[in-house]
Amino acid sequence: MKKIMNRPEDFAVETVEGIIAAYGDKVKLLNADPQIYLSNYPTREGKVGIVTAGGSGHLPVFLGYVGQGMLDGCAVGNVFASPSAQKMADMITACDRGNGVLCLYGNYGGDKLNFDMACEMVEMEDIETRTVLVKDDLASSPLEAREKRRGVAGMVYAFKVAGACADKGMSLDEVADMAQKALDNIRTIGVALSPCVVPMVGKPSFSIADDEIEVGMGIHGEPGIEVRKMMTADEIADDIISRIETEIPLSSGDEVSIMVNGLGATPIEEQLIVYRRIHKILSDKAVSIFMPHIGEFATSMEMAGLSITVFKLDGELKQCLAAPACTPFYTNHNK
């Protein structure tokens, strides 16, 4: 293991300290707790709260999207580990402005268990909650078992839509419904070229040959659909878009947002080469692209590879995506 860090056991906390030092104008800690982030922007009474949670190691997910126009709070655990139910409950309580809190997070066992407990805890204090699970990873389960799918980079779009709806003054049920509507139109598939190393483990999470690529790899190193010989950028784009189109067919006149997301060790040049091909594929179909997202949005430590997310838009979803937002890792000034 070769990492720029101090002690492995301090990795998550020192990451937090760095974020607060750099972005303290946008985010703050709840009672100096390095596992609970809150927006540092003024929030009006009555606004529905939007919160998430999960393990460290995926920056900018999760805590990088706390701020104005997106998340109000985030609880984070150690690398790839869920925070406790108590941390989540404290965060939910801090984000309630009288009209309830939406819990919007990835479909992972530990997060689900702890969020369910947290929601029960706060509901005893008369705080209303709703839960929407992110399940955009098309590769993680077949269509007939889609309830088992994992949440990956597409959750960033869901944070954006939910945050915009809450800022508009929508009710808790309305915000939850819009987040679900967004997710119904979002699919993601990733490819991995190399493994990541969890600091406290000290060795790679999986192995893959130098001339191979794994299609459908999860952001914790979960097995994908297939391991095959390395593909070109165009072949990767063609393969992923064709798989996504089995569930979100695209035709002339449709409008989408595309996210090409680096998993931690993929140069932006390589991401742009892939996006160039996606743009050509969709242009040939007369499908327009609105607000492409290219960069690192949901990583897996130093894993090499990328994911592609397709978000099919209508007028309502497009307006939410275009709404202003300002967080440590996501800024949008579109009106």
Rounded CA-CA distance 319/306 in Å is 27
Residues known to be catalytic? 58, 220
> Is residue 306 helix, strand or coil?
strand
Question: Is the Cβ–Cβ distance between 66 and 73 less than 8 Å?
Answer: yes
DSSP strands (E only) in 109-182: 129-134
Q: Pairing mode, if any, of strands 212-215 and 226-229? A: antiparallel
Q: Among residues 153, 70, 104, 72, which one has the least CA distance to residue 324?
A: 70
DSSP element (H, E) containing 161: helix 155-168
Rounded CA-CA distance 175/178 in Å is 5
Q: Which residues does 178 contact at the CB level (< 8 Å), separation at least 6?
A: 161, 162, 165, 170, 316, 320
- Which pairs with CB-CB distance under 8 Å and at least 24 residues apart come from 118-122? 118/85, 118/86, 118/88, 118/89, 118/92, 119/92, 121/85, 121/86, 121/89, 122/89, 122/92, 122/93, 122/96
